[in-house]
């Protein structure tokens, strides 16, 4: 979707520079399966609101900035909920 | 490449790998749906460095991500991995539920919300007074603070707010720009040779004869747009960002 051709299936291993996600030096059209009504970016993440009022996110989620609970982050956030 | 620099790179990669194993493989390289069961639609997003604010269409503000600077306005500073209301650890009982928030903004680690009455609420990191509190690097603002700006004794309403790295810009009903926070690069636009940080809202006098319609703030610089379509930039120019 957002990444360049064929990179979706490459396993992410940050220790191997050959597998790094390539940077775009020119704007690339995002072919998304939803219409975007608002888009915004942080230091290492991008968030969008679709016309159907769904929130989509991509980028780094190490601090939980995407709001997508993963298995390991769930363990960390369990004690957040009273 | 010298030995020293390659060592530096390697250490950075190891740090990242450590992060990865600690938090799981938390990189998302394509847009992924964020599950939020709030029952409301969403009007706006504001992304800080490592946290995100979300404005619902009933005027409430949700947040997720790093909370170490009080971004979530709760009594702890833990990160959040799913959206919950600012001021609460659930989607209910947030501190903005009855305020009718119209617009939100996020800086590196501080946040702003404009309510329906034209008041700006600020919270989060306050190292340089960007949240309208006396600067203190040992304290954060985790109870939203309302910024008050008076002109000739009358309180002025706000139309828009923008957050930079460590500074805050407010556009008010007089079309004046009000600035507070860090000023070591002149990002508050006060005057020449005025580089003092401001924790009190201070008017940018340079635009007295202009009608400003939009403002934005970067890490250490600021821009404004006039009604005629002219844009102005001021502050740090370390990377040519003032154009």
Whether A64 and B32 lie within 8 Å, measured CB to CB: no
pLDDT the model gives residue A20: 63
Rounded to whole angstroms, the Cα distance separating A40 from B48 reads 10
pLDDT the model gives residue B17: 41
Query: How many other CB atoms are found less than 10 A from the CB of residue B203?
Result: 19
Per the prediction, chain B carries an average pLDDT of: 89
Every domain of chain B and the residues it spans: 41-235
Confidence of residue A82 (pLDDT cuts 50, 70, 90): very low
Query: How many other CB atoms are found less than 10 A from the CB of residue A53?
Result: 15
Residue B28 is nearest to which of A59, A63, A74, comparing CB atoms?
Answer: A59
Whether A42 and B79 lie within 8 Å, measured CB to CB: no
- CATH 3.30.470.10 describes domain B41-235: no
- Chain A residues closer than 8 Å to B81 by CB: 61, 64, 67-70, 73-74, 76-77
> What contacts A76, CB < 8 A, 6 or more positions away?
B23, B78, B79, B81
The model carries a pTM of: 0.83
Token code pair at residue B96: 């903005």
- What is the least distance, in Å, from the CA of A19 to any CA of chain B? 12
Selected residues 31-70 of chain A with any CB under 8 Å from a CB in chain B: 32, 38-49, 53-70
ipTM comes to: 0.84
pLDDT the model gives residue A23: 81
- Chain A residues closer than 8 Å to B105 by CB: none
Burial call B210-230: b when 16+ CB within 10 Å, e when fewer: bebeebbbbbbbbbbeeeeee
Query: How many other CB atoms are found less than 10 A from the CB of residue B24?
Result: 17
pLDDT tens-digit profile, chain B (243 residues): 333 333 333 334 444 444 444 444 588 989 999 999 888 999 999 999 999 999 999 999 999 999 999 999 999 999 999 999 999 999 988 999 999 999 999 999 999 999 999 999 999 999 999 999 999 889 999 999 999 999 999 999 999 999 999 999 999 999 999 999 999 999 999 987 889 999 999 999 989 899 999 999 999 999 999 999 999 999 999 999 998
Per residue in A10-27, pLDDT tens? 445 555 666 566 788 888
Q: Are B106 and B161 in contact (CB under 8 A)?
A: no
pLDDT the model gives residue A13: 54
> What contacts B190, CB < 8 A, 6 or more positions away?
B179, B183, B198, B202, B204, B205
Selected residues 106-145 of chain B with any CB under 8 Å from a CB in chain A: 106, 108
Q: Is A42 exposed, middle or buried (0-12, 13-18, 19+ CB in 10 A)?
A: buried
- What is the least distance, in Å, from the CA of B133 to any CA of chain A? 25
Whether A49 and B44 lie within 8 Å, measured CB to CB: yes
- Chain A residues closer than 8 Å to B48 by CB: 42-43, 65
Residue with tokens 């990179």: A7
């Amino acid at each position: 979707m957002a990444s360049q051709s064929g990179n979706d299936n490459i396993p992410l291993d940050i220790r191997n520079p050959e597998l790094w996600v390539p940077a775009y030096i020119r704007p690339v059209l995002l072919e998304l399966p939803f219409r975007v009504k608002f888009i915004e970016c942080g230091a290492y993440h991008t968030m969008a609101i679709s016309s159907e009022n769904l929130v989509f996110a991509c980028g780094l989620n190490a601090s939980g900035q995407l709001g997508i609970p993963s298995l390991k982050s769930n363990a960390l956030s369990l004690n957040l909920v009273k | 490449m010298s030995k020293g620099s390659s060592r530096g790179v390697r250490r950075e990669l190891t740090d990242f790998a450590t992060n990865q194993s600690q938090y799981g493989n938390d990189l998302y390289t394509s847009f992924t749906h964020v599950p939020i069961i709030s029952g409301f639609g969403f009007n706006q997003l504001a992304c800080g460095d490592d946290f995100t604010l979300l404005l619902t269409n009933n005027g409430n503000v949700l947040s997720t991500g790093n909370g170490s600077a009080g971004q979530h306005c709760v009594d702890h500073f833990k990160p959040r991995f799913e959206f919950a209301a600012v001021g609460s650890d659930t989607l209910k009982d947030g501190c903005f539920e009855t305020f009718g928030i119209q617009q939100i903004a996020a800086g590196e680690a501080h946040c702003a919300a404009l309510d329906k009455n034209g008041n700006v609420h600020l919270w989060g990191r306050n190292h340089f007074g960007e949240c309208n509190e006396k600067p203190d690097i040992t304290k954060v603002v985790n109870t939203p603070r309302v910024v008050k700006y008076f002109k000739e004794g009358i309180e002025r309403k706000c139309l828009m707010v923008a957050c930079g790295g460590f500074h805050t810009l407010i556009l008010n009903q007089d079309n004046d720009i009000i600035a507070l926070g860090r000023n070591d690069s002149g990002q508050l636009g006060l005057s020449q040779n005025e580089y003092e940080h401001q924790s009190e809202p201070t008017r940018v006098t340079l635009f007295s004869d202009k009608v400003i319609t939009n403002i934005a703030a970067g890490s250490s610089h600021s821009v404004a747009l006039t009604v005629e379509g002219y844009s102005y930039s001021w502050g740090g120019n370390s990377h040519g960002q003032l154009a």
